[in-house]
């Protein structure tokens, strides 16, 4: 028994989970401190503007990077021993990142007044988009270099950079907010990642690939086409989830009240807090691992090993969150949010099926299964919206969490069907 326990705790997945957990905890703490300080100085209306800006920025950081970061992780992991092929992927990835980030950056600057009117309902914040457009290339390059570290399985350095990013982001944000209030908060949100690029430079400057020979290669149509599949997957992901949430939140506001929508949004925020521990680990360890495995038997072994480790961990974590739901609400929110308590059961059960399905869904990303990935993402976003409308009409706000649970249960069933030969066949 002790030997088995020792074997489990010494596995790469557990080690990476420990590293990323530390990074995630620091990220959550710095984020919590930042929000508290920002909220106390600029108030609820300022927080609302920052939320708008963050949604917009997340879309354009994906577009600016060409949506290829998962592809960079996969191909670096797959061809790290093949120097000539690695040069092609890094060179073309670098060119795509620079070209698209410059294009979208210039586009944002040119339409800064219109974007300010659209996002903030006020043209006076146009300068925020000038800062965003100018810093987009720096943010995109930072994410590109971090993806290379991830693909090379440089877990420690990857986590250290992320920890430093959180700390620098906190210091940078607090300073600008104290000095310039709302304007400082908005500028900090679109520029702090570009400042972090110089930290990333320090960590990658001595790597064999950080030179002209690897990063300034010629365009290769075949390589660009391979990256394109990841661009499509990333763009679909960055559109479907926010759009479905916007529609459901809007439906709750129109049918009930903004407070009712706030309870559901609060429940989503709680989910995001503990789900990030698992999603970060999957991105840092699991995706590169799946990408480098070419033997079906080894792939099956890795997937089943992940299920054995993750299933009890997520199961007991969710039970703990459910039992401590009063404490969780008190720490993260206020007594005004106690109506959320009825939402916990279905939301947490949905989160369980979500993690279970993601273990299989990551195979689609790792193996470039673009068509089936896009079809399932779009289909289940539509199903989620339809289920939500139906169950909200039937049961009120709790129907939104019931539809979430049912949606991810069906998604899990579909993933099992797609990968049934991998999971259930021993050949």
How confident is residue 43, by pLDDT bands cut at 50, 70 and 90? low
What percentage of the chain exceeds 90 in pLDDT? 21
Specify the DSSP class assigned to residue 234.
Answer: H
Q: Say whether pLDDT at 299 is over 50.
A: yes
pTM above 0.85, yes or no: no
| Predicted pLDDT at 31 | 61
Query: First and final CA of the chain: distance in angstroms?
Result: 29
Q: For 7-37, what is each residue's pLDDT tens digit?
A: 444 455 555 555 566 666 777 677 666 656 6
Mean pLDDT of 214-241: 82
State the DSSP H helix or E strand holding residue 32, giving kind and residue range, or none if neither: helix 12-64
Q: Which residues of 248-263 are buried (b: 16+ CB within 10 A; e: fewer)?
A: bbebbeeeeeeebbbb
Q: Supply the pLDDT for residue 178.
A: 84
Q: What is the pLDDT of residue 399?
A: 93
Per the model's pLDDT, the better-predicted residue between 230 and 46 turns out to be 230
Which helix (H) or strand (E) element contains residue 412?
helix 398-418
Mean pLDDT over each residue of the chain, to the nearest integer: 81
- Inform me whether the pLDDT recorded for 375 exceeds 60: yes
Among all chains, which residue has been given the structure tokens 């661009």?
231
What percentage of the chain exceeds 70 in pLDDT?
Answer: 86
What are the extents of the domains in the chain? 2-219, 225-424
For residue 269, with 0-12 CB atoms within 10 Å meaning exposed, 13-18 middle and 19 or more buried, which class applies?
exposed
Q: What are the structure tokens assigned to 133, written together?
A: 């457009």
pLDDT digits (tens, 9 = 90+) for 347-360: 999 999 999 998 89
Q: Reply yes or no on whether the pLDDT at 40 is more than 80.
A: no
Residue 2's pLDDT is what? 47
Within 8 A by CB and 6+ apart from 28, the residues are 273, 276
When pLDDT is averaged across residues 229-242 and rounded to a whole number, the result is 78
Most confident of the ranges 182-191, 252-261, 399-408: 399-408
pLDDT (average), residues 99-126: 88
Residue-wise pLDDT for 125-166, tens only, equals 899 999 999 999 999 999 899 888 888 877 778 778 878 877
pLDDT at 10: 46
Tell me which of 368 and 364 has the higher pLDDT: 364
Range among 28-42, 323-337, 362-376 rated most confident: 362-376
The predicted pLDDT at position 16 comes to: 59
pLDDT (average), residues 185-189: 83
Predicted confidence (pLDDT) at residue 227 exceeds the cutoff of 80: yes
- Mean pLDDT of all residues in 227-245: 79
Longest dimension (CA), the chain: 65
How does pLDDT run across 193-205, given as a tens digit for each residue? 778 888 888 888 8
In this predicted model, what pLDDT tens digit does every residue of 264-284 receive, in sequence order? 877 887 787 777 777 776 766
pLDDT above 90: residue 407: yes
Q: Tell me what pLDDT residue 9 has.
A: 45
Alpha helices in 256-397 (DSSP H): 258-281, 287-292, 296-323, 325-332, 344-366, 370-395
Res 345 pLDDT > 90: yes
283-298 pLDDT, tens digit each: 667 777 777 788 888 8
């Amino acid at each position: 028994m002790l030997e088995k326990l020792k074997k489990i705790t010494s596995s790469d997945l557990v080690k990476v989970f420990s590293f990323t957990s530390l990074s995630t905890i620091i990220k959550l703490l710095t984020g919590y401190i930042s929000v508290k300080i920002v909220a106390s100085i600029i108030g609820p209306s300022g927080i609302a503007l920052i939320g708008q800006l963050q949604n917009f920025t997340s879309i354009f950081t994906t577009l600016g990077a060409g949506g290829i970061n998962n592809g960079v992780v996969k191909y670096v992991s797959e061809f790290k021993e093949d120097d000539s092929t690695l040069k092609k992927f890094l060179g073309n990835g670098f060119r795509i990142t620079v070209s698209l980030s410059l294009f979208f950056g210039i586009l944002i600057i040119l339409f800064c007044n219109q974007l300010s009117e659209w996002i903030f309902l006020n043209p006076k914040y146009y300068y925020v988009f000038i800062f965003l457009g100018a810093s987009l290339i720096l943010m995109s390059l930072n994410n590109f270099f971090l993806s290379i570290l991830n693909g090379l399985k440089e877990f420690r350095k990857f986590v250290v950079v992320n920890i430093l990013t959180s700390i620098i982001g906190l210091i940078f944000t607090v300073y600008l907010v104290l000095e310039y209030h709302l304007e400082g908060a908005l500028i900090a949100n679109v520029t702090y990642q570009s400042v972090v690029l110089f930290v990333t430079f320090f960590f990658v400057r001595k790597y064999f690939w950080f030179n002209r020979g690897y990063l300034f290669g010629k365009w290769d149509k075949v390589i660009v086409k391979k990256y394109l599949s990841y661009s499509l997957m990333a763009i679909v992901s960055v559109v479907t989830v926010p759009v479905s949430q916007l529609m459901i939140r809007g439906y709750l506001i129109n049918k009930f009240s903004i407070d009712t929508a706030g309870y559901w949004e609060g429940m989503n925020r709680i989910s995001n807090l503990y789900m990030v521990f698992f999603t970060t680990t999957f991105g840092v360890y699991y995706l590169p691992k799946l990408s480098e495995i070419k033997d079906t038997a080894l792939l099956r072994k890795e997937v089943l090993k992940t299920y054995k480790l993750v299933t009890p961990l997520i199961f007991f974590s969710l039970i703990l969150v459910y039992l401590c739901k009063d404490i969780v609400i008190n720490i993260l929110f206020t007594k005004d949010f106690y109506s959320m308590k009825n939402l916990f059961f279905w939301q947490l059960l949905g989160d369980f099926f979500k993690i279970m399905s993601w273990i299989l869904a990551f195979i689609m990303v790792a193996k470039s299964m673009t068509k089936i990935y896009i079809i399932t993402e779009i289909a289940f976003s539509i199903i989620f919206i339809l289920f939500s409308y139906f169950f909200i009409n039937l049961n009120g706000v709790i129907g939104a969490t019931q539809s979430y649970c049912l949606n991810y249960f069906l998604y899990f069933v579909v993933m099992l069907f797609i990968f049934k030969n991998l999971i259930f066949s021993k050949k």
